[in-house]
Every structure is written in structure tokens, then in C-alpha cells.
Structure 1
Amino acid sequence: MGDIIKIQGYLIDLDGTVYRGEQLIPGAERALGELYARGRKILFISNKPLYSRKDYAKKLSRLGILAKESDVLNSSFVLARYLAKEAPGAKVFAIGEPPLLKELRRAGLRLTEDPRKIEYVVAAFDRTFDYRKLNIAFQALTRGARFYATNPDRTCPVEDGEIPDAAAVIAALEATTGRKVEKVFGKPSHYMIQTALEILGLPPEKCAMVGDRLETDIRMAKENGLTAILVLTGVTRPEDLKSSPFQPDYVLPSLAELPDLDEKIGGEG
């Protein structure tokens, strides 16, 4: 495989791949610096709608990796961008936190809590999810509003374990309305990968996805023609590979080893 692939761009997951919480993965800063020096294009990708792209860029810079807002892609940006094209100025009710709401407004979408006016219900990770929000969404969906979601994750890793993620909100709406979510925009969706490739300006065969989750990072890569690189600094353990239908092309102990692999699979920029 290494004789054929000539990678020019990397899509790199954040939590569990570049950092864990507020701690940079050892060797990550040096590894990314080497890739940049070789002219590789890098786009950081996250499913979390809890922070804006600017927030992620600030965090990376704070940890020693200089990054701009345009270097980061997350599920809320992909969803807002899609909605702005599909239905400019649409009336939206979003179950989510302030960064998601800001992203939707920034895309020219109009937020409302009136079920009679809501055209789209957006389900996302929301630590303030309550019965009031559930009922607004329920009333809108039973009136025919479209049903979208930012990301499919069941749980979100935190420093002392895990907490429920967007899947909990999606499940509540599906259970009460009898409807299924129509579109999900985070990894492993083709909406996410199409946006990422468009930003990088590269075809899938010249890109690799680097991440720690088999069911999102590796699945997205394998289903869309990218090279799949798993790192073992996040949620996936070596023994998990035996039972997964999503097999990476390469497995690395951490992001620190990526420059060595790039020497084998990288192409001229």
C-alpha cells in the first residue's frame, strides 16, 4: 500500500488524538510541526458542537500548536453551512448550547421557539436539555418540521469518565415522535468528509484520516476512500480491533509516530 499512496493532506481528530482534556499528547507538537514543514495540508476535525472553531483554534494555540479558525472543522459548522445552502434564512429550533446557536445565526438562520414557525429541529449535545426543550421540538416535529442532528455520538469523554452526548437527545425525540433523524452531519457522515475535502482542495485518495475512534474516524475514512490511521491514545484499545468491522490501514501508538509513517505514504505537495 505504501508504494501506491501519496498522501498530501491529513484530517486529524482532536480529543484523544492531539490532546486529552488540557494535556497535549506527548510528541504531538513536534509531529505536526514536521508535517507542516513538509508542506502537508492539515485540517483538525471534531464532532463536538460545544465549542466554536475559534475556540478550538485558541485551545490548540494555547497548547503550543498555532492554528486559525479556518484550520478547524466541527459538526455545528458543517450543519449550519449545509442548512444555509439548503434553506437560506430558515426558522430553526436547536437543542444545543450557545456556540451552536451562534454558528446557526452566523449562517443567516433564524432561531425560534414557536413550534408553529419552526421549519427545522436540530438535535445536539446539550447539557441543559430539559422537558421544555423536548416539548418544543416534539410539537414542531409533529407539525412536520425537518429533523437534523449535529453528531451521532452516544457519549462524550470527560476527565473522570463519560457523559451522555447528542445521541441521547436524538433518541428522546425519536422515541416521543416516532420519527427518525433525517440527517446527521458529524463524523462519520459524508457531509463532514465532503466539507473537509473541499476545504483542503484534495481528492480523498490523497488524504488520510487520523483518529482514535473506530466507529467514527476510521469508518468515515474507509467509507469515503481515505487512508485510515488509528492512534491508541484515545478510546480504542488494540483488542477492540478484533471485533470491529472498521479496520484501519495503519495503527500507531500515538500522533508522535505520524511523521515516520508520512515518510512512507506521503507524496509531493
Structure 2
Amino acid sequence: MRGYIFDLDGTVYLGDRLIEGAAEAIQTLKERGDKVVFLSNKPIATRQSYVQKLTKMGIPTDLREILNSSLIVARYLQKRLKTGEKVYVIGEEPIKEELREHGITPLDAYDTSIPDYVVLSWDREFNYDKLNRLYQAAVRGAFIIASNPDCTCPLEDGQLPDTGTFIAALESATGKPIDIVIGKPSPISAMAAVEQIGLDCRDCVMVGDRLDTDIKMAYNTGMQSVLVLTGVGTREAAVASPYPPDHILSSIKDIIYL
């Protein structure tokens, strides 16, 4: 038995288009007794929406098979947060909803008090006021938690700027790195995935399209890794990468042959 950890955007689908052969490959893995979870850095969708999307695409999915950066951030904060400490979120409703489901109430947008923690996430309404509030919190000692480091998110017709662009803006302003990144390639995400599967890292395979998140996480934690060429990563970049994948496949459909 092996555990397969699948990225979603660029690996299983692109936007609303399923990668050819993805449904059949994942079904084959499950039928032969392997375990499957989906691990996404994307914080602008709920886990429930992933279940609905995958199931509609022909990949029947249970909520327990979905892990995303929003959930892992919520679990991380739940363990750290002390009574009375405040959390400000730069992000969209799905990550705020996940925090509330874990008993964490983000500060209201009109509450100008300095937070103890800032969750920095993908926010398609990011503006100067939010950047300034983020900066002011950081220089006053707030602990900055980024949901994910991705600079872009792949779509069927191109890419969009992601959380990594906001991280770069803050680090440029403060002159120092943020405190922690929760999403891939963080070992926090790796441990969340293997615990969900119930196997050790060495028995798990990370399948994704990004060298700097998916493959790097696998490389650093002793997982096997598979780079698929349906998203951001390329064969040329993989050859030159300090985190080389164990396998390179044209798409997810060939995963059953490894």
C-alpha cells in the first residue's frame, strides 16, 4: 500500500477542465488499495467546494480526503492562540470561514487594534490599505502566518498572482522574512497529509506540478515525488532544480504505471 498526495490546480484539473485520464487514474489507485488525499495550497475555496467540484468531475471524494492551506492554518492557530489574543486576516471568505469553524474569530475590518497574529492569504481585493495594515502589524511585533507561498495560480488560459506576491511586498517593506509559511513546501503541510493518510513519509508519493512547493516538500520530507507537466513545472526546470523529482510524467494519467 502506498499513499498518494495529489495537488489539485495544474495536476488534477486546470480551472474547470479535468486533466484527461485523471479520474480513471485516481479510481485505479483506490481500487488496488492505495490511499489518496488531495492537498491544495489554494485558500480561496472551501474544502466542501473541492468535494463538490471533484465529484462533479467524476472523482467521488469525501471531505476527509481534502486538505488545504486554510484548514492547516486554522489547526496551527488553534494550537498556538491564547485567550484574548487577536487575529487579523488578509484573505477571502473561505479561509475566514475555516478559522471560525475552529473557534477563531478574525478581527473586523474596522477594528484598528494591533493584532497578535496576521494570517496573510490570497486576497483578490488586496489594496494599499491592507498592505499598510499588514506592515504596521508586522513592525509592531505581530506574528505573520502565510497560508501559502505560491506566486501564481495556474488556470486553463494562463496564471493569476497568488499569495506569494503579497509576501514579497511585506518582506520588501520590512527587510526581513515573514514568520512562517504553512502551505507546501512546509513540513507542517507534509505532516498533515501523512497523518491523514496514516502512513509514513517514505510510503507516500507527492504528485504535483510545482517544483518549488510540491516537489520541494517531498524532497525535504523523504517522500517520493512525481512532477506532472500539465501545470507550471517544466522538464527543463526539473533537470536544473535543487529539488529534482523522482519521476516526470506528461500527466497524472500515467501515475498508475509507476
Shorter-chain-normalised TM-score: which range?
over 0.9
CA distance in 2, matches of 1:246, 1:234: 17
Provide the identity percentage: 47
Q: What is the aligned counterpart of 1:26 among 17, 20, 26?
A: 20
Contact kept in structure 1, 2:41 and 2:68, CA below 8 Å: yes
TM-score normalised over the length of structure 1: 0.90
1:197 equivalenced with 2:194 (yes/no): yes
The superposition leaves residues 210-233 of structure 1 with CA deviations (integer Å, 9 ceiling, x where unpaired) of 111111111111110101111122
Structure 2: gaps (5+ residues): none
The superposition leaves residues 181-232 of structure 1 with CA deviations (integer Å, 9 ceiling, x where unpaired) of 1110111000100111111111011111011111111111111010111112
Counterpart position of 2:250: 253
Counterpart position of 1:105: 100
Counterpart position of 1:225: 222
CA distance in 2, matches of 1:182, 1:111: 19
Aligned residue for 1:152, secondary structure, equals coil
Shift of 1:164: 1.4
Q: Which runs of 4+ in 1 moved over 6 A?
A: none
CA distance in 1, matches of 2:82, 2:34: 35
Aligned residue for 2:153, secondary structure, equals strand
Counterpart position of 1:83: 77
Contact kept in structure 2, 1:116 and 1:140, CA below 8 Å: no
Counterpart position of 1:134: 131
Across the two proteins, how many residue pairs are aligned to each other? 255
Shift of 1:35: 0.7
CA distance in 2, matches of 1:159, 1:126: 20
Q: Which amino acid aligns with 2:218?
A: A
Structure 1: gaps (5+ residues): 1-6, 262-269
Aligned residue for 1:35, secondary structure, equals helix
CA distance in 1, matches of 2:91, 2:179: 17
RMSD: 1.5
Q: Which amino acid aligns with 1:51?
A: A
Give 1:46-125 correspondences, 5 Å limit.
46-87=40-81, 90-112=85-107, 113=109, 114-125=111-122
Q: What is the aligned counterpart of 1:9 among 3, 12, 17?
A: 3
1:145 equivalenced with 2:169 (yes/no): no
CA distance in 2, matches of 1:57, 1:88: 32
Shift of 1:179: 4.0
Contact kept in structure 1, 2:17 and 2:156, CA below 8 Å: no
Distance 1:232 1:148, change over 3 A: same
